[in-house]
Amino acid sequence: MYERILVPYDGSESAMHALEAAANLATSLKSYSAFTVLYVIQEIPRVEAARLAGDVNAMLVEEGQQAVAPALDLLTQKGVKAQAIYLHGDPAEVISREAGKYDVVIMGRRGLSTFKELVIGSVSHKVIQNTACPVLIVN
C-alpha cells in the first residue's frame, strides 16, 4: 500500500523522528519500492548572495548534504535502501509537487524555525493542505 515513501528532511529533531518512523514503516512493510529523503534548498535573497564570496549554489548544496548525512547514516544502520535528492525552491511547494510521485509523505511537525507560536510549522501546514496522498506528521 505504501510502496513509495517520501521523507522531507531539514536536519531538525522533528524531521529525524519522522525519518525514524519512516524507516520503521519501510522495514515492517518489507516491499517498498522507493524511499526518498528530500532536502529543499531555499533560494537566498540576491543581495545576500552577492555579499557571499564564491559559488553560492555549491555552498547551499554542501550545507544540504551535511544536514542530510546523519539521516543517511541512520538508514544505513537500519538497512533501509534510500536515495537523497536535493531540489531548489520553496520547501512546501517542492514537497507537495514531489509528493505526486509517492504513496505517503512522512515529515516532522516542526522544523528549524525558532518561531514557535503555531502548533505546527508552516511547511507542514502547507503540505497537509496541498498534498493529495496521506501525510504522516511526526512530533
Ligand X SMILES: Nc1ncnc2c1ncn2[C@@H]1O[C@H](COP(=O)(O)OP(=O)(O)O)[C@@H](O)[C@H]1O
Site residues, Mg ion (CB under 5 A): 111, 113
Q: What angle do CA 50, 56, 59 make, to 5 degrees?
A: 145
How deeply is 56 buried, as exposed, middle or buried, from its count of CB atoms within 10 A (0-12, 13-18, 19+)?
middle
**Which C-beta is closer to ligand X: that of 65 or that of 113?**
113
Q: Which of 5, 6, 8, 35 binds ligand X (CB under 6 A)?
A: 8
**Which C-beta is closer to ligand X: that of 53 or that of 60?**
60
Q: Which three cell numbers stand for residue 105?
A: 509523505
CA distance 38 to 91: 10
Site string for ligand X, 98-137 (x = CB under 6 A): ---------xx-xxxx-------xxxx-------------
Q: Which of residues 9-38 bind ligand X (CB under 6 A)?
A: 9-10, 12, 14-15, 18, 38
User: SS3 of 26, please?
Assistant: helix
**Which C-beta is closer to ligand X: that of 14 or that of 131?**
14
Question: How far apart are CB 28 and ligand X at their closest, in Å?
Answer: 21
Q: How far, CA to CA in Å, does 6 sit from each of 10, 40, 53, 118?
A: 13, 13, 34, 24
Which among ligand X, Mg ion, none contacts residue 39 (Cβ within 5 to 8 A by kind)?
Answer: ligand X
